[in-house]
Amino acid sequence: MRAMPNRWKPNVTVAAIIERDGRFLLVEEDTADGLRLNNPAGHLDPGESPIEACVREVLEETAHDFAPAALVGVYLNRFTRTRTGHDITYLRFAFAGTVGTHHEWRALDEGIVRTVWMTLDELHASAARHRSPLVLQCIQDYLAGQRAPLALIHTDASVLQATAAL
């Protein structure tokens, strides 16, 4: 049998769009390009659904509970790392939902400097500091009322069983 060449595979990420009183919850994170603003977001881990990943990432990055209510969109973004020159493509699932309890005692994920609540005007004014163009795009889609039911995302039981095999 002939070996297959390496296939291109995007990095799957999740992000939360959290609004409260006209402000959006963002994280300020230390990156190779300096301090950047991002939606609470991160990578999908083996053995979890995109919805579970988003709940976990919000807790790790903001110390808040999060209850996803809808899928805002699925986004594809290409990025070149400054230090290494690696060309990376991200496939992002963005969820809207409600923020819950803040666990003040929790340390934020490595690299997260702080959380910040920003208005849309503040987001536009800080666009040069966004981690990616998806930060603002996801929020604009949310504000435009773009929502799909969570049932649109199906995670087969075989994925959830994957952790036992790892």
Domain that holds residue 37: 11-161
Residues 90-140: tens digit of each pLDDT: 999 999 999 999 999 999 999 999 999 999 999 999 999 999 999 999 999
Q: Is 3 within the bounds of a domain?
A: no
Using left for φ > 0, alpha for ψ between -120 and 50, and beta otherwise, residue 129 falls in: alpha
Q: What CATH number should be reported for the domain holding residue 45?
A: 3.90.79.10
Q: Is 6 within the bounds of a domain?
A: no
In this model, does residue 40 exceed pLDDT 90?
yes
User: What share of the chain has pLDDT > 90, as a percent?
Assistant: 79
Count of domains forming the chain: 1
Q: Is 51 within the bounds of a domain?
A: yes
Give the model's pLDDT for residue 3.
62
Q: Is 4 within the bounds of a domain?
A: no
Q: Is 71 within the bounds of a domain?
A: yes
Q: Is 155 within the bounds of a domain?
A: yes
Q: How far apart are CA 126 and CA 136, in angstroms?
A: 10
Is the whole-model pTM more than 0.75?
A: yes
Q: Is 1 within the bounds of a domain?
A: no
Under 8 Å between Cβ of 133 and 54: no
Q: Is 166 within the bounds of a domain?
A: no
Query: Which positions ≥6 away from 37 have C-beta within 8 Å?
Result: 26, 27, 28, 29, 116, 118, 123, 126, 129, 130, 131, 135
pLDDT band at 9 (very low <50, low <70, confident <90, very high): confident
